[in-house]
Structures are given as structure tokens and as C-alpha cells.
Amino acid sequence: MTTTNLTKTPDAAPGAPLIPLPLGTARILTLAGSAVTLVGTFLAWTWSQDFPGNLTVTGYPGGLQTLTLTGALLTLLFTLSGYGIKGLRWLTPGGTHSPVRLLALGTLGTTLFAMAAISVVLGGLINLDPGAWISGVGALAATVGAFALPEDAHGETPAANGWERFRQSLKAPAPNTPEPLPGWAEILVITGVFAAGLFVFAYGIDIEYPELFIGFLITVGFTFAAFGKAGLPRRTSQLAGKHRKVAMLAALAAAICFPFTQTNDQYALIGAQVLIFATVALGLNVVVGLAGLLDLGYVAFLGVGAYTAALVSGTASSAFDVKFPFWAAALAGAAASLLFGVIIGAPTLRLRGDYLAIVTLGFGEIFRITVLNLNGKTGPDITNGSNGVTNVPDLNIFGFDLGIQHDVLGFTLTRSANYFLLMLLFTVIVVLVFRRSAESRIGRAWVAIREDETAATAMGINGFRLKLMAFALGAALAGFAGSVQAHLGYSVTPEQYQFAGSVAPNSAFLLAAVILGGMGTIAGPLIGAALLYLIPAKLAFMQDYQLVLFGLALILLMRFKPEGLVADRRKKLEFHETDQQAASDDALTGAGTGVAKAGA
């Protein structure tokens, strides 16, 4: 009698490595290469102090050396986790070898970039000291060893060529049951994650020269890709969901601590501008991410709020001799933007797709041209035309003047730090509004309209009314942020509110921030906006090539992460449906083979 075996089919065997070496040899080579790289960072990389960061000191890494050191340490830790060490195994719940490859590759990229930058700035490879060569050779050896490790197996059939295997290493890991931790340890992990995020953000803003910032981007990019492949973001989100209040408090505490970490007022100003950009992007996420309405003129609502707050601020350049308290000015800015949202949305939201995008693009240009012509010559004298509304006074809230320094607990809060904390409060309010809206019946109706408006209408949803509500809410949130922007920048001019350009925020960059970060999520637009504002601010020397690099980055993103950096489950399923279907077919094929063998 034949017995049929219907037991669970095991995961597919690991694929052959790109470089044929025994597993033990590959691990030893990776460990040894990372150790050599680490040692090289404690030696001088160049003899001249003309290269920024002072890489001439032996025994004290600085500048780009610290980034290479960080990458080498992480490569060592993740490689050791493959030996099953209990404390380190927690690092790789989703896979062991793919994160090591990404970390080793990032370390090699940072090191080679540093060596190339030293050679270009100082005039040749002759300016490289032995420490740079030692770290370079070590990083190369570690990368060779990492790519000699076998592929992680999660039920997928290993790709036939190296490029497809590398693409597989960038995909999200398969679910894996993590080792349980005590409650106090989970809270400690959550706190540590947000503390690390604060450190990385503060370090990036505090970078003074472009060579270090480019190395920082290389290291952070590969590190986060490795963490994603290791399954750490998924595990952290599970812990944050389990301890939601602790996670919210930790995130808020980390954000509040940021201005206390900055000694340069210029960097705190960048932080405040990033928050304004991020808050407006989150407002646009209501329109694009939840309701699925393509708005190409959204920056105009930011301008409406900013102009409204500036005109009622009491400045001498205002056409109105009034001075509202800030809370009234902020509400006036939000109300004016909401009103314009309704006025523009009511006749246009019956359009869909590209037609709606063209109409909103036209509205954004109409707003900019209108405030440009309200100069007393081609129209009423209200906005001072191209000169804008200037000399907007600093805010004074309950006797607290945001325009002067304040000493708090031994720390000095500068003007920019004061506005950062105020904008942080506004960001929290916008996040709460977005979250409550997304989780409500209206939010679910918005998602239904985004997915299929015809089906949603057939189920009794009033599509026009709900789309108008999304348009109005998004506009009000943008006007809310604009009221702070007017006071932070001292002036409001038409050139600040264009569809595209080198000055952020503009409509194109706001939309890109939502798509880059992840539509329909909270963290996605915040991260996307921070990246799109911070990178141009730190790489000003590449301003002439900004749009080219921006387009290239979008192409790469659409190729590898079409769902965005932070994607919800629906988007992840939508954009990776082919991969999941292939994995399902492979599993069915494997199960059928097992049944056939059992029957035989």
C-alpha cells in the first residue's frame, strides 16, 4: 500500500554563492577582512591636513574613518551572528548572509570613496598613507568573503545569475519567529532604536563638508538596507505596536532632544525647515496617499497659509493694519487654505487622473502669478508683488519670545531651536489628525476610493464629497505649517511656491517625498521629506545637477523599492505580487514533487 506524504515541505536549500568558497573559509575571510579594515581606521590615511576631517592622526579615527569603522564593526557583528551566538542571533531574525553582504559592500564603498576623494582633493594616490590602503584591502577581502557566503533560503528558488541574486538580497525577509524578550528588554530596545535614530539624524545635520556627507549617505543607505534584510525594522515595529505608548513617548523625547544636541544655529534652522517640509508632505499624504488624488499644486496651499499669517502679523509691509495673536494667525492660515481647497476642489474633483493633475498644477501657477501681480500696479496693493511680505516679526507666545535665546536646564536654545520645538508641536498635531483620519470610517472610504472609485461608488460611498473633504483637510494642514514658515523665514515671496525648482519645499519635491517615503503611512513622508530637504542642503556644490540626480534616484527607487522606503502591507502586496506568485508556484511545485516521490 502506498503512503502519501503530505507533511510541510521544508524551505528551499540555500543557493550557491557567487564566489565558490567553503562556508567556514568565507566566514573567516569576512571576519578577518572586517578586522583589518577596522585596524586601518586607527592609522593615518593621509599626511596632509588640507583634506577635511584631519585623517593624519594615528590612533584616533576622524571624519570618513569613523564611517568605515562603523561599517566594519557592523559587518563583524552580523557575521558573528551566523555562528548562532545567542546574544548576536537576535540581530538577524530574517536572514544571516544577505545583511553581511550589504554591510561589507557599504563599507567597501565608503572606503573606496574616501580614498578617491583624498586623491582628487590632494592630487593623486601618492597622498594616501598606509592606513587607507590597509582599510581598502581589508574591506575588499571582507566583501569577497561575504559574497562567498551562500544565499539565505526562505522558500524562494535561488536566481540563476548574480544580478538577480543581488536583487533577491534587497528584498524584505521572510517572516521569522523572534526569540522572546522580557518586557523591560523590549522597552529598552525601543528606547535604544529612537536614541540611535536621533544620533544618526543629528550627526547628518551636523556634517560640515560634502565629502563626509556623501560617505555618510553611502554608509547609512547600505546599513538600513542590511537592517531591512535582517528583519530588524519588522521586529522593531512589532515591539512598538506592543508598547505603543512607550514608542510614542520615546519618539517625542528623541525629537525634543534634537535642538539640545546642536551648537550651530544654522543646523537647528535646517532641522526646523525639515519639520515644515515633512509636515506639509504629511498633509499631501492625505490627498495622494489616502484618497489617491494626484495634486501637483499643493505648495500653493502652504503659500496661502504663509501669506495669511504674514499679512495679519502686524508687519509694516502688510496691507492690513492688524496684529493677531499667533494662535489666531495659525487658525486664520489654516482656515484660508481650507477655503481655497474647497473653492478649487468643488469644480475640479469630478475629474480623475491626469486631468485632475493638470488642473491642480494650473492652480499652483495661478496662485504664484496672482500674488506676484498684487503689487499696486497690475493689481491691488496687497502682497507687494515680487518683494513679498517682509519683516515678519518673531512670535511671542504667552510671554515666550521665540526670537531670542533662552537658557533651559543649562542648555541654550537659539531662535532656530525655539521654532524647531514649535514646529515639532505642529507636527505632532498633524500626525494625530492624519492617524485619526486614516483609522476612521472616512479614512477607510478614502482608501476605497483610491483603490477603485467606481466600486466604492457602487457600494454607496459619496466619492465627490469625500474627495472634497480630503482636499480641504490636506489644504488646511499645509496652511497650518505655512503660518510658522512665514515667521521663521521673516518674509514670504512668490518664488518660494513654485511647482519645481532648487528651493524646497515645492510641489514636485513634496509629491516625491510622499512617494519616496511611502504613500498612506505616517513615517514614510516624514523620512522622505527629511532626505529630500537635507541632501540638497548639504550638497550645494551639486546644485546644477540636482534634478538629474533626483531623477536618477527616482528611477532606482521605482526599480528596487516601488512601494517606498516605509510601505504599508497593501502597497507591499500590490508591488510584489509577481514575486509572491512565483514563490507560491515554487512551493506548490515542491509539494507536488514531494507527493510524487512519496507515491512512488
- Cell readout for 592 is 507536488
Q: In whole angstroms, how far apart are CA 577 and each of 161, 563, 570?
A: 22, 12, 10
User: How does pLDDT run across 186-235, given as a tens digit for each residue?
Assistant: 888 888 888 888 888 888 888 888 889 999 999 998 998 888 888 888 88
Q: How far apart (Å, rounded) are the C-alpha atoms in residues 518 and 285? A: 9
Q: Reduced to 3 states, what is the DSSP secondary structure of residue 332? A: helix
What is the rounded CA–CA span in Å between residue 533 and residue 554? 15
pLDDT-based confidence at residue 88 (cuts at 50, 70, 90): low
Residue ranges of alpha helices (H) inside 82-129 are 86-89, 97-122
Q: Can you tell me the distance from the alpha carbon of 107 to that of 427, in angstroms, rounded to the nearest whole number?
A: 35
Lookup: cell for 228: 531591512
Residue type, 527: I
Handedness of CA 61, 65, 67, 69 (dihedral sign): negative
- Sorted by where each begins, the domain ranges of the chain are 23-241, 264-385+403-567
161 vs 277: which has the higher pLDDT: 277
Beta strand pairing call for 411-413 and 406-408: antiparallel
Average pLDDT over residues 499-522: 78
Lowest mean per-residue pLDDT among 94-108, 127-141, 208-222, 465-479: 94-108
What pLDDT score does 569 carry?
Answer: 65
* More confident site: 156 or 547: 547
Paired strand residues for 473: none
pLDDT of residue 585: 46
Specify whether the CB–CB gap between 517 and 529 falls below 8 A: yes
How many residues can be counted in the chain? 600
Q: Give the cell for residue 181.
A: 524578550
CA Rg value for the chain: 27
pLDDT higher than threshold 50 for residue 10:
no
CATH fold of 264-385+403-567 reads ABC transporter involved in vitamin B12 uptake, BtuC (1.10.3470)
Single pTM value for the model:
0.78
Name the nearest CA neighbour of 372 among 360, 388, 392: 388
What's the chain's average pLDDT? 80
Residue 430 CA to residue 438 CA, distance in Å, equals 12
More confident residue, 91 or 78: 78
